[in-house]
Amino acid sequence: MEDCIFCKIIKGDLPSYKIYEDKDTFAFLDISNDANGHILVIPKIHYTNVLDCDAEVLASVVKTIKKISNHLVENCGFSGVNILNASGKDAEQSVFHLHFHILPRKEGDGMKTFPKLKQNEFTLDEMCEKLRIKE
């Protein structure tokens, strides 16, 4: 996609701090520089988000996420990772090229990455009935 910032990074039209690349995926530091080692993992083929991504491409992205996450813990001094994704405008997706955030974590780093949510208005029975996949 011509106006996609991540597609421009993949093509080399924009610079990036590349962490890892294979035939299907590209991983680079997030320029927000808001957390030590904040990495974005993207497919090289443009997909908007998880909802329209080919299952095989998505599997490649997850494989890269696992590889990088293991590297961060085994070789870089981190003790865990948060893996985050937003798929869709109402889910707060801001760049409409599928991407996952990897946030390396250490004890006492002070980051709070999970939102504090209010109590659901529906019972678990009601929600389960509504969301159950019936094949």
Contact 72, 80 (CB under 8 A): no
Give the C-alpha distances (Å, rounded to integers) separating 130 from 55, 110, 120, 125, 126.
Answer: 25, 37, 14, 9, 6
71 is catalytic: no
Token reading at 120: 């659901």
In angstroms, the CA 76 to CA 23 distance is: 24
Residue 96 structure tokens: 């409409």
If 0-12 CB within 10 Å is exposed, 13-18 middle and 19+ buried, where does residue 99 land?
Answer: buried
Among 46, 71, 97, 99, the one annotated catalytic = 99
Positions marked catalytic: 99
